[in-house]
Structure 1
Amino acid sequence: MFKDNQSIDTDQTPAFGFYENVMLCLTTLHHRRYVEDMIHTIGLPIGSHVRLRYRKTYACSQIWDVVYSKKLKPDQVVLIALAGTDISGATDVAPIRKGKIFKARCEGDLLILDIALDDFVFESSSNGEFWSNLSSSSPTLPKGFTLGQSSAGTYVQTIETSALKLTSNGSVRGWEQVAKAFFRIDFQGTDKSAARNACLPFLYYVNQMPQDITDRLSNSGSLSLKMGSHLELEVHTVARPGTDAIRNPLGEVVLDLSHTATTFISSRRVRVDSSRDVKSIGISTSPTFCTTDGHISIRTVMFKKETEKKQNSYTNNSSDLPLPGITDIQDMVAADKRIEIVVARYDFPLRTGGARPWIASAMIAAATALSVYKISKQGDFSIVDIIAPGIVFFLTLFGLGLGLIKK
């Protein structure tokens, strides 16, 4: 017998240790680059690498000095949080995701943090006490976030986790919680109609991949696929809550391949035409004797309807009058009557090959060596009998190995 959804979701754990040293990376939706950073932070699978950049004036002086002197401890844990104003115009800050810094440096007056993403983070209860607890323990945080303006304060600093009741989850359930927080903050105004002018009407998430691929992704930031293998990506989408009936798609998530040894075996587009959906995209690698490099990109595309003049006059013929009760229904629009806006793009370095090309080359070299092996006429085994096959084996392996040099 199946259990209900409440009992199935048991994969929630405390996000941080009670006295764990956590670096807060606070961001807003003030600039388009910040919007792109947040889309990637929410949408990419565990292990993906994102880069956050902060001006020196927005970083804690202690953190700046530690990074500048290259004394930041390895795998520093970070909490990425989103700040803004909610529908009532009040300050709203929500935790989004945790990760680990694998590289940090100061360039001029810019602090650059390269982060490997981990689980999603959200409040354990629905009381909304995250910002109040955080601001009371960190007085240097911004006092508010004025719409359309940069707010002074320290956006990067170390925080105490003892007062923060946060839960982490690496599954789709955690992503759904974080998506709700994003839509709650992403309002360009103080009323519900202002949601139409928000930054993004939908979000996506590439579900977690097999563990071996996730491990390599976390270590190198690139997707590594075996020769002649198959990878299936599950792309989840969710529309902003309260969206009217979707007659025209809100946008789409488009995957592009730039790699000589990989191909799509399904459609590479995920159209956002429902409030909640998931689609599988298959990628296949072809057999090859070389390790090849390329990339796969994920583009977040938003659709905008072209401005059209409304017909305000009707003839006396009743057939020309709008039908009562359906004048507000959205008409379906052809693809050539909409504008496509690329809001964000992320490129995964993609490498195919692995150990299989080496194994195949060794087997071909061994087969070639056996073809020239001959037993001496006297029937006695001699070291001379394996010299020629040995030379053939190493020359064949060396020749095939020239093609294994990565491009």
Structure 2
Amino acid sequence: MGTSLHTIFFFIVAISALVSVHEYGHFWVARRCGVRVEVFSIGFGRELIGWNDRHGTRWRISALPLGGYVRFFGDADAASARQVDASELSPAERRVTYQGQSVGRRAMIAAAGPLANFVLAVVLFFAIFVTLGQRFTAPVADRIQPGSAAEAAGVHAGDRFLAIDGRSIESFEDLALKMRLNQGTPVEVTLDRAGQRLELTITPTITEVDNGQGGKQKIGILGVVSTRTEFKERGFFESIRYAVREVGTVVDVTATAVGQMVAGTRGTEELGGPLRIADMSGRVARQSLADFIWLVAALSVNLGLFNLLPVPMLDGGHLLFYAFEAIRGRPLGERIQEFGFRIGLAMVLSLMVFATWNDLVQLRVVQFISQLFT
């Protein structure tokens, strides 16, 4: 019970932080565009705690902490997809609605949520680097595993990895991460061997490993082991630079993994939903606060990316419609937009169901239930 409560607590902390920042991005830009905000809600369902600010916005914490929304004046729903009948509003009231703004301002408001998630990630990574610095394993091959891809390519013990496919490597973690995403594609590796720069082509070996949640995943490995720990202190401005770079790394890894899933070279069983996020939040929080902050930062980047997908119902879908509106000089027809939002809703719900099923399988819930009836 204690472990379950611990997991639930840190899951709620993580989700609430990510959603609050995302929605506040929409809220902050909307206010500066002159839009009246009626509700800022963290969670869905029945209101647990609420208060009104001096601008008339109702701030609320609701019973189901799995999301949130901002409702603008004149909206007929929380997604700002539909507006109340404009004939019922005066010209002054229409000017403070979301739909009454120019297409440029609506695009800014829609993009502000994902952008806020990227900013949050930079801030969290910066906080870790500026206070704790960066501790990492040196990208040095202390030992070469017999029969490995590295041995076949000619890597020697003591070689230091400098770059992969032209992209610099600063830690063994960088190297391992890039290899985990590789599904057997040859890579160009730059090494430092006793001061001499070498170029080698290595094809990682594909192997199945335990993903830590009861399932398996295919990853690429070189077959090198590093035990050398290095520590780098980061100054204020250097921490900012590395925080931005870390966000870029998360974006690159996520985009690569999703692209491989779409192409069929990576299994979709790695796609996780709320149950796996909850499980991960609890496990990481037990390791250290810094690890938990790192996880929240990475999740924030992924939330921002997900919301930028050009799918109606998501911020990216709004931006897609606004792009068409800017090109055509007028909005798409209401029937087209409504059809698009229905398709988008079906896609999002299908993805949630699929991810939740993956969670149940990977966390062995399905196996546990099946054993009860066998």
- Pick the structure with greater CA Rg: 1
Q: Which has the higher contact order (CA 8 A, sep 6+)?
A: 2
Flag the structure with higher helix content: 2
TM-score calculated relative to the size of structure 1 = 0.20
Scaled by the length of structure 2, the TM-score of the pair is: 0.21
